[in-house]
Amino acid sequence: MTATTLPPAVRDPEETPRRDRGRGLRSLIPLLPALVLLLLFFAGPMLWSVYIAFTNTALSGAGAVEFVGLANFERMVNDPAFWHSIWLTLIFVVGSAVIGQNTLGLLLALLMRGRNRVSRTLVTGLVLAAWAVPETVAGFCWYAFLHRTGTLNELLQHVGVQQNWLYTAPMVAVIFANVWRGTAFSMLVYDAALSDVPPDLLEAAAIDGASGWQKLRYVTLPLIRRSIVSNLMLITLQTLAAFGLIFVMTGGGPGTASQTTPLYMYEQSFKFYELSYGTAMALVLLLVGALFSVIYLRLIRLED
C-alpha cells in the first residue's frame, strides 16, 4: 500500500490579519459601555467647552451665538486681572500642594514608621478626619478660626496681637487651610510607598555608618521617587481647580488679593454672564495643569 502525501494547504496571506482584526474588534465589545460613558461625560463636555471658548456665548439668554475665533484668548492676553489670578494660582499650588501637603505628608509618614498601633491609629484618624470634612465646611471652620473675632485672635490677645487674618494675609490663610485639609492624601501615598522599602537596605546603610538623613537621602527617597512624582501630579491637578475653600473663606478678596483663576472664571461666567470668556480661561488652566504634568513626567525620565 502506497502512502499518499497531501500537498500543504495554501492559505490566503490576507486571511490571518483579517482574522486578527475581527478578534480585536470582538474584544472591544465588553468595553463599549465604558467607552460610551467616557465619551458622554468626559470627552463630550471637553469638546463642548472648546467650542464655547471660540464663540460669544453668554448666560444672558438665548441670543445668537457667533464664532469669534481667538477673540477671547486675545482679550485674556491683555487682561491684567487674568494674569494676576494666574500668579495667585501658582502661589496657591506651590505653597499649599507642592510644598505644604507634599512635605507634611512625607514627614508624617516617616514619623509614623515603627510607631505602635495606637499612635498610628490616632494620627491617621486625626489627619483623615480633616480630609473627610467637606470643602465648604472646612472653609467655614477656617473662616471662623481666622476671623477678627475668631479663636486665633482670642488666643493671641494675651500677647497683644489682634488683626483680621483674612484681610491682612488672605493667601497665607487659604494656603494653610488647604494644607490642613489635603495632607491626608499625601500621607497615605507615602505611607504605602515607605512600606515597600526593603528593611535590609536600611539596615545595610546603618551598618555602613549612614546617619538618619543619609539613609533618607540616598536610600529611601530614590526608592519612592515614582510615588513622590505621582503624588505631586495628583495634588497639583487637584489644587489647580480648588474653588470652594477659597470662595467660602475670602470670596477672592479683599479686592482681588486671593482671587485665583477658578474664582475669576466664576466671576466672569456667572456674575458678568460671559460664559465663553470663562470657558477660555478654563482651557488655559487645563494647559497649566498639563505643563505641570509634563514637568513631573520629565523628572521621572531624568531619574531613570
Q: What is the pLDDT at residue 77?
A: 92
Percent of the chain whose predicted confidence (pLDDT) is above 70: 90
The pLDDT of residue 141 is above 50: yes
Q: What is the pLDDT at residue 1?
A: 44
pTM (predicted TM-score): 0.84
Q: Which amino acid is at 222?
A: P
71 by DSSP, 3-state: which?
helix
CA distances from 17 to 8, 25, 28, 197 (A): 20, 12, 17, 46
d(CA 276, CA 91): 26
**94-100 mean pLDDT:** 93
Q: Which residues contact 179 (CB under 8 A, 6 or more apart)?
A: 96, 100, 101, 104
DSSP 3-state percent helix, strand, coil across the chain (nearest 5): 75, 0, 25
Percent of the chain whose predicted confidence (pLDDT) is above 90: 38
Q: What is the DSSP letter of 257?
A: T
pLDDT tier, 299 (very low <50, low <70, confident <90, very high otherwise): confident
The pLDDT of residue 285 is above 60: yes
CA 31 vs. chain centroid, Å, equals 27
Residue pLDDT, tens place only, 230-279: 899 999 999 998 999 999 999 988 989 999 999 999 999 988 888 899 99
Q: What is the pLDDT at residue 123?
A: 85
137 by DSSP, 3-state: which?
helix
Q: What is the pLDDT at residue 163?
A: 84
Q: Which residues contact 30 (CB under 8 A, 6 or more apart)?
A: none
CA distances from 167 to 75, 119, 136, 148, 251 (A): 30, 38, 19, 9, 11
What mean pLDDT value characterizes the chain?
86
pLDDT tier, 143 (very low <50, low <70, confident <90, very high otherwise): very high
The pLDDT of residue 116 is above 60: yes
62 by DSSP, 3-state: which?
coil
Contact between 224 and 194 under an 8 Å Cβ cutoff? The reply is yes
Q: What is the pLDDT at residue 103?
A: 93
Provide the CB-side half-sphere exposure for 249 (13 A, CA): 32
Q: What is the pLDDT at residue 159?
A: 83
The pLDDT of residue 61 is above 80: no
The pLDDT of residue 196 is above 90: no
Q: What is the pLDDT at residue 120?
A: 84
Across 17-31, 33-47, 109-123, least confident range: 17-31
Q: Which residues contact 82 (CB under 8 A, 6 or more apart)?
A: 76, 261, 264, 281
**206-227 mean pLDDT:** 88
